[in-house]
Structure 1
Amino acid sequence: MTVRNLDALFRPKSVAVIGASERPGSTGAMVWARVLEGGFNGPVWPVNPKYETLGGHKVIGDAGDLPQAPTVAVICTPPDSWPGIIHKLGGLGTRAAIIVGEVRSDEDRLHLRHALSAARPNLLRIVGPGSLGVVSPALRAHFGAPSCTVKAGGVAWVSQSNALTNAVLGWAHARGLGFSHAVALGGEADVDAGDVLDYLASDPGTRAILLELDTVRAARKFMSAARAAARNKPVLALRSGRADPDDGLYTAAFRRAGMVRVDALDDLLDEIETLGVGRVAAGATATLITSDRGLATLACDAFAAAGDTLAPWPSEADAALTEALPYAVAGNPLQLGDDARPEHFGTALKLLAEHRSTGTAFVVHASTHGAPVGEVAQALIENQRFAYRGLLACFFGGVDAATRDALHAQGIPVHTTPQRLARAFARLVDYRMGRELLMQTPEDLPAQIPEEIDAAQAQARAAIAAGEHELTGAAAAQFLERFGLSVETHAGGPQAGSPQAPMGGLSEKADEESAQGPAQEPAAQRIDPLIGDCADQSATSSRRSVVDIAVELHDDDNFGPVFRFTAPSVDGVSDPLRVYGLPPLNPMLARDIVTRSRYARLIAPEPALAAMTALSQAVCDVKEIVGLSLTLRAFSDRVVVIAPTLKIAPTRSRLAIVPYPRRFEETLDWQGLRVTVRPIRPEDEAAHHDFVEAMTPEDLRLRFFGAVGSFDHSQLARMTQIDYDREMALIATVTSEDGFTRTLGVVRAVADPDNETAEFAVAVRSDQKGRRLGQLLMDRIIKYARARGTHWLVGEALRENTPMIALARSCGFTITPTEDPGVIGFRMALDET
């Protein structure tokens, strides 16, 4: 399951506390007290046969006797009672339950399994066991045993730890900060982190998500949910256990999903302030406003340590500030002087507003006789509207609660040190850059001949049928060459990572033996970083290897197939660079991996990117590959695979990220044209731009339910970069004699996370209307949705869009009314029955 019935948890209308009590120190007493103290304004029912009333509420003796189904039930009773309670609640129609009690024994685990079985027929969702609870402050719903009542805010907190959840809620409460929701997941027997991310991704009350976890369950679901959430709002993740050998894998997964990983709880707490309060559009640069040189120096050091960049100012900004504030030292940082007055801070914000290149505004200030903190804060509040990219403040020594709350009310975060402010901003920049990485258009994937892929699959299956579990030597070379890789089966020396050579590098012995190899090449050596760009080196140097990259693939129990790339340190002293990668890789993602190495500027990047992408494609296309080890020997202008070994087996784990689904490609003759129908790819962005531009304004209005102009890169990226695990866009394309590909039409189906319903939309180039291309595309998306197991396919069209209504009727959709009289709905049951 995913988001099914999670709205019951986060938008509850009533609650029952099963096991509510007044016995001091009992779980039932703590949960019941928190529900009452929170002030939930819906029906509240305590359930316990030992009492007649609790807190002025009539007590129900048994869950089966509740007057109506509670939206949520909080269960505080022992494990042996859980199956019966869940069965009764499900029969009433309750859709969510929070189990506070812990599972401590095998017998308890058996009771939990029975409770889950009782919940499943009624689609009742369970949080826990061992959950501190779920808090939705805007509804005053405190369901569980949090340490304090919680204010409403814009950040959601999701954690696998009860202790950390209580600590964070208490920390925020003391600082007047709040949350949109707070969830302690407990044992995640049903509702897990991926489910909650999926829900919060589209929750309008949540501007950012803070996630604390140790492990990820159901990696594919988690990655799909995280990628969807990170496209919409910042998602910051804290994972303890840097010493864990698999920690690098989590770093790669978070980065691939567009999340920002933070290293310490302090950093995550600071983001409650920055993201929960502020309206900051984090650009790459900022302007620092302070009073004196000492503060400016401290702040600049903090910004430099965090990797932030102060914006270069145009000369016009310097001139304007010098004229308006003659005692200030213009420039970035702007030093207003020891005799600065509160109004000077406001003047600076006004003048800088005319120069948008100055970026986000930061005010760092320590109280003086001429500029008390409270008065400076008021000046910032009055002039906050001029900070078009947002305003953040740092007041040494802090501010009183009233001033703090006034700043918060205007969306101005307040930090206590420049270091915390600088790191908080750096993480916003990291999120922006990660989101841009998700939205960038990669280069074309290497063209692959389907016959070669078929041959590679046949080779692997034949080897397995013959009882072989590895491909080595000539067999491995033949396999990889089918994907365009250049392979040498003899390394000419110790393999990277062997006891004789550093992991991923060439030893001196390897250099000497390489010189004696069949090709009689000059001794392999690393190019001195001081030499400069390899493109400027002699032809002889292009024959020298720059670096050996050790490549391994293993089948992780959770994330499925995972690459590990290891390159040696340049100086021979620092640790090797080890980077994980989740297939499928494309050249853009491969470039992200390569550019983190100090060797990147010593080699032409394209061969390395092509090699890594080809390896990824081999793993995605041939599901029998369960592991591999090889060396990518990088020269200045080429990459050669050395001594590959491929492990093969009949089955392996699923990929955490669904690769391009080649099986839906189809080429057919249509209306005198040779048309290819296939899933959309990120590299289709340019063709999709031309497709949209070729549609008339009226056709665009009918498709998008309103007048639209041109689409920018981010909008086109959302159209062409899709998660194939939950969305499909099939395009019809034709290729001209000069090799240019045109998109003629597109049909989409976006399923809800439960795969219960998918919503479709279809568009055809205006000059192709009337040729039944829409019918061709609709037939295929219906077939796709039915094969995927989706139960319903639905859509909508403006009432005046008669061609679309006619197409829907011809495909078998039922025409239905909607709440908008100007919109017609379509609905089709896809179940075979």
Structure 2
Amino acid sequence: MTVRNLDAIFQPKSVAVIGASQRPGSIGQMVWQRLIEGGFAGPLWAVNPRHAGELESFDGKPVLADAGDLPEAPTVALICTRPSTWPALVHRLGGMGTRAAIIVGEVRTEEDRADLRHALAAARPHLLRILGPGTLGALTPALNAQLGAAATVARSGGVAWVSQSNALTNAVLRWAGPRGLGFSHAVALGDEADVDVGDVLDYLASDPSTRAILLEVDSIGAARKFMSAARAAARNKPVLALRSGRDDPGDALYTAAFRRAGIVRVDTLDDLLDEIETLGVGRVAASDTATLITSDRGVATLARDAFMKAGDTLARWNDEAHAALETALEAALPRAQAGNPLVLGDTAKAEHFGLALQALASQRSTGTAFVVHAPTHSAPVAEVARTLIENQRFAYRGMLACFFGGVDDTTRDALHAHGIPVHTTPRRLARAFARLVDYRLGRELLMQTPESMPAQGAAAIEAAQGVAHAALAAGRATLEGAEAARLLAAFELQTLESAEQRSAEAVVDVNVEFRDDENFGPVFHFVAPSPDGFSPPLRVYSLPPLNPVLSRDIVEQSPYVRHAAPEPMLEALTGISQVVCEVREIVAMQLTLRVLPHAVMLVAPRLTLAEKRSRFAIVPYPRRLEETLDWHGERLTIRPIRPEDEEMHRAFIDTMTPDDLRLRFFSAVRSFDHTQLARMTQIDYDREMALIATVEGEDGKPRTLGVARAVADPDNETAEFAVAIQSNLKRGGLGRLLLTRMIDYVRSRGTHWLLGEALRENAPMIGLARACGFTVTPTEDPGVVGFRMPLE
């Protein structure tokens, strides 16, 4: 996974078009024309040996005979020539210092594929990135950088569009322009020979100009990279995805992967287009309910029905809100109906919409404001729109609008300029908001603190692993019956071994399959029949590892959720996940979960073993890093942080003095909320590590004494570290104990450099860094010093 040099594509400073042309209909002509029409302001060169002596310039820009004649290395080169030229061009551009190339041409033959392989090999020594081949290009409208052969010039906006389809990208750009909608970036990925969807997601996750990301994907090749990048992006901003092919047998697995990554899946292209309006224009704060404001009863009924169908997201007003709105509107609008929808009456004027927004402002339970308006003589569209803009500050959860019949371009642009999205029907408005709610709920699932589950003891895990090792040593690749039951029993999973023990009071039998998917690696598949013959059966995929929160998400999708106590099922799902995480020789599993009213038993487990299996798309908890040692007369445990450590981590931070917190976080810090603590404790072990040191407290519960944290960049080129120790334990050696182990861990991952920073006044941290072998260097900030350590 790498974002290295992607800024050359999305933030170019100079551009060369190799194969530029003015021959109508040629790729070189289309690419050149888009750059000129877009108005790119940086250095721009055309390279074409056929025209170099014939014409002095293309549109006032110099035409050169060869890439070697360029006066300097372009940030990015657009290659519009035939495949046989790609290897030499990439080699020359890379040697000059060009950091990225966009190959617009397509690969059609085996010879073309060989040329592409040679071009990729030529790029590698120079770290030159390649987008494509077969790509429409990449657009950054804010910089007037229209790099590629898009059908139209795109406007600037707040949403990024990422697609595997050139045709859909062209269609979306054509659709958005006349509606006054734009993009922070738009990219068609082409064949993804180098830059793929995971790379672009990683870049956009931290791109300040991108408020939301819209994906159109058909398939994902590097699932682990994608999942890691998607989870990082979804923690920062909404990510929505469209994947066609609902009849594809593997489509349900994509649904599970998107859900696990915090991505909201949409059903149609129309839904995705609506989000360009909602997310690219709007500044809607976190809210899962809304209040409708309209002047007409018929419109109110239509809008209410749309919201009920889309997800029942209308706010339930409390008595205080009803009374406050009745009082506020009584004098001005005696015919108004205070409720949700809030119906102002057919005599309402434009200013009455402002009055309603002001009255709702103090009632926080009413959620996001939705103005749905059918134009009337007393309340013309332009006047209502002006009132919404003037009173926008009262909509504390944001505002969305729907004007039947649409609005003129001037009014639309004014609303957009003030962050108010405009939809044409209540249905589109309701569905767009429902997806925002889905994102919020999905993000909460990502940030949720799981209920603590007792970890299996080391002896039990070793016993289970021993069963698998012994079977493989004996040449057996399958465990069934008593052997399988013995392995599973190490994880407190009970197996029914005979027909007589199978209870007649079973609620349902859930078939469980664990297997290797060619894209996503190890996955679970859960299947249960319909409870009544009419309701849909349960068919759910899930990616390990599972914890109780993620297991509950599976259980709540079952039609049997109200027929049995949930806790036994949560324990069973979490248990079988622990089995496959700890016993890596298990490559497949089939069993039945017999769900009883107050228990869950395993029936007929069958385990398939092998020496090696695929890596998980989501890295499980790395138990191998756990260590217990004697330290100053106490038993000290050093281990990776876990999601259930949130409260313990809060208590640890509470022990630190305000000055210690300032030194650690470079500013005054009072406290951390749940979201911030969840980000500290729920980490992606594939790219981040936090090692904590704990001891048993007087109450018998563990407490945290210190933490060392390191976060690697997506390239794994560098990792940044930080250390925090309980205030009264400084200079006791705990910091060095944690930091040396973190150095060893980061080195084991193949990271090249470990970096850090500290305030110049933080003498203990500077001393610790020096003692551990870091070089202390100045930084651009005179009050901050840097630490560097080569790990190779």
TM range (shorter): over 0.9
Residues 489 and 644, structure 1, Cα contact 8 Å, conserved in 2: no
Pairwise mapping of residues 642-791 of structure 1 onto structure 2 (< 5 A)? Answer: 642-736=603-697, 738-791=699-752
TM-aligned CA deviation for residue 174 of structure 1: 1.3
Q: Identify unmatched segments of 5+ residues in structure 1.
A: 493-516, 525-543
Alignment correspondent of 1:320: 327
1:782-822 per-position Cα deviation (integer Å, ceiling 9, x unaligned): 11111111111111111111111111111111111111111
Residues 195 and 225, structure 1, Cα contact 8 Å, conserved in 2: yes
Alignment correspondent of 1:505: none
Choose from 285, 290, 294 the match for 1:281: 285
Query: Counterparts of 1:154 and 1:620 in 2: how far apart (Å)?
Result: 40
Pairwise mapping of residues 78-117 of structure 1 onto structure 2 (< 5 A)? Answer: 78-117=82-121
Alignment correspondent of 1:5: 5
Alignment correspondent of 1:558: 519
SS, match of residue 223 in structure 1 = helix
TM-aligned CA deviation for residue 737 of structure 1: 5.8
Residues 260 and 434, structure 1, Cα contact 8 Å, conserved in 2: yes
Choose from 155, 159, 170 the match for 1:155: 159
SS, match of residue 59 in structure 1 = strand
1:161-211 per-position Cα deviation (integer Å, ceiling 9, x unaligned): 000000001100010100000010000000000000000000000000000
**One-letter code aligned to 1:154:** G
Residues 51 and 59, structure 1, Cα contact 8 Å, conserved in 2: yes
> Which 4+ runs in 1 deviate beyond 2 A?
312-325, 736-739
1:503-545 per-position Cα deviation (integer Å, ceiling 9, x unaligned): xxxxxxxxxxxxxx257x5xx2xxxxxxxxxxxxxxxxxxx11
SS, match of residue 639 in structure 1 = strand
Larger mean Cα displacement after TM superposition, 448-457 or 720-729: 448-457
Query: Counterparts of 2:536 and 2:445 in 1: how far apart (Å)?
Result: 27
Choose from 279, 302, 305 the match for 1:301: 305
Alignment correspondent of 1:30: 30
Choose from 187, 204, 208 the match for 1:204: 208
TM-aligned CA deviation for residue 483 of structure 1: 1.1
Residues 337 and 343, structure 2, Cα contact 8 Å, conserved in 1: yes
Query: Counterparts of 1:693 and 1:319 in 2: how far apart (Å)?
Result: 46
Quick check: 1:169 aligned with 2:173? yes
TM-aligned CA deviation for residue 622 of structure 1: 1.2
Residues 282 and 425, structure 1, Cα contact 8 Å, conserved in 2: no
Alignment correspondent of 1:131: 135
1:632-659 per-position Cα deviation (integer Å, ceiling 9, x unaligned): 0011111000001111111111100000
Alignment correspondent of 1:378: 386
**One-letter code aligned to 1:315:** H
Query: Counterparts of 2:661 and 2:327 in 1: how far apart (Å)?
Result: 46
Query: Counterparts of 1:65 and 1:98 in 2: how far apart (Å)?
Result: 19
Quick check: 1:622 aligned with 2:622? no
TM-aligned CA deviation for residue 312 of structure 1: 2.3
**One-letter code aligned to 1:112:** L
SS, match of residue 177 in structure 1 = coil
Choose from 402, 406, 410 the match for 1:394: 402
Pairwise mapping of residues 173-188 of structure 1 onto structure 2 (< 5 A)? Answer: 173-188=177-192
Query: Counterparts of 2:583 and 2:775 in 1: how far apart (Å)?
Result: 41
**One-letter code aligned to 1:436:** E
**One-letter code aligned to 2:487:** F
Query: Counterparts of 1:462 and 1:90 in 2: how far apart (Å)?
Result: 53
SS, match of residue 106 in structure 2 = coil
Quick check: 1:44 aligned with 2:51? no
Residues 330 and 336, structure 2, Cα contact 8 Å, conserved in 1: no
Pairwise mapping of residues 299-698 of structure 1 onto structure 2 (< 5 A)? Answer: 299-313=303-317, 314-324=321-331, 325-490=333-498, 492=499, 517=500, 521=503, 524=504, 544-698=505-659
Residues 538 and 559, structure 2, Cα contact 8 Å, conserved in 1: no
TM-aligned CA deviation for residue 456 of structure 1: 1.6
1:262-315 per-position Cα deviation (integer Å, ceiling 9, x unaligned): 000000000000000000014111100001110000000000000132212223
SS, match of residue 603 in structure 2 = strand
SS, match of residue 279 in structure 1 = coil
1:302-361 per-position Cα deviation (integer Å, ceiling 9, x unaligned): 000001322122233233334243221111111111111000001100111111111100
Alignment correspondent of 1:62: 66
TM-aligned CA deviation for residue 385 of structure 1: 1.0
Query: Counterparts of 2:612 and 2:578 in 1: how far apart (Å)?
Result: 17
Query: Counterparts of 1:674 and 1:160 in 2: how far apart (Å)?
Result: 54
**One-letter code aligned to 2:750:** G
TM-aligned CA deviation for residue 675 of structure 1: 0.2
Query: Counterparts of 1:17 and 1:353 in 2: how far apart (Å)?
Result: 54
**One-letter code aligned to 1:334:** L
Choose from 188, 192, 198 the match for 2:196: 192
Q: Identify unmatched segments of 5+ residues in structure 2.
A: none
Residues 322 and 339, structure 2, Cα contact 8 Å, conserved in 1: no
**One-letter code aligned to 1:299:** A
Choose from 763, 788, 791 the match for 1:827: 788
Residues 40 and 142, structure 1, Cα contact 8 Å, conserved in 2: yes
**One-letter code aligned to 1:453:** I
TM-aligned CA deviation for residue 596 of structure 1: 1.1
Residues 731 and 764, structure 2, Cα contact 8 Å, conserved in 1: no
Query: Counterparts of 2:712 and 2:501 in 1: how far apart (Å)?
Result: 57
Residues 671 and 771, structure 1, Cα contact 8 Å, conserved in 2: no
SS, match of residue 391 in structure 2 = helix
Query: Counterparts of 2:338 and 2:545 in 1: how far apart (Å)?
Result: 50
SS, match of residue 751 in structure 2 = coil
Identity %: 71
Cα RMSD after superposing both structures: 1.0
**One-letter code aligned to 1:782:** I
SS, match of residue 309 in structure 1 = coil
TM-aligned CA deviation for residue 462 of structure 1: 2.0
Choose from 232, 243, 249 the match for 1:228: 232
Scaled by the length of structure 2, the TM-score of the pair is 0.98
